[in-house]
Amino acid sequence: MTSCDAGDISFASSKAGHTSPIIAVVHQVLGLLPELSVAENIGIVHARSGWSQISRRRMREIALGALRLIDPAIGEEIIDLPARKLSLHEGQIVELARALSTGAEVLLLDEPTANPTAGETAKVFSVLKRLVQEEGIGIGMRSTGRSRQRKRLPG
């Protein structure tokens, strides 16, 4: 990781018909709705407006597809759970999946390693590393913890 306080970043989309990449932001504070299921928390961003609806079946399809990009094993385990029952790490995975479900080519992450345990931090970095290497997702992150900044993603 590199520390920067000024400059420009340029991206080009790899998707046909797009000149700019789809960028999604994942905030440090989880924005999950606690009474909605994981599928609903991911699928809700696909409703065209506050009054439109998306079928539960379609939400599940979208959510499982996005969760499989992160961890193929976790999707079926948590898809129907209400968000309030998720661990912090699982909540972060759902937030990442929601961002990826939009077709994001670049993820901007605010304090993705602000987990309480070193093990959870290692899991987050493992997921991010795989997304960069296997899915070609660009990752930008802000982290204030000096020890956490020493960890590098491939680039």
* Dist CA 133 CA 152 (whole Å): 13
Hey, which residues does 26 pair with through a beta bridge?
A: 109
Which residues sit opposite 110 in a β-bridge? 142
At a CB cut-off of 8 Å and minimum separation 6, what does 144 contact?
Answer: 111
Phi-psi label, residue 140: left if phi above 0, alpha if psi -120 to 50, beta otherwise = beta
pLDDT at 147 (0 to 100): 43
Q: Which residues of the chain have pLDDT under 70?
A: 1-5, 7-19, 48-52, 115-116, 145-155
DSSP code at position 80: T
Task: Give the span between the Cα atoms of 58 and 65, in whole angstroms.
Answer: 11
pLDDT at 123: 81
* Per-residue pLDDT at 106: 92
* pLDDT tens sequence across 79-106: 999 999 998 888 989 999 999 999 999 9
Give the predicted TM-score (pTM) of the model: 0.79
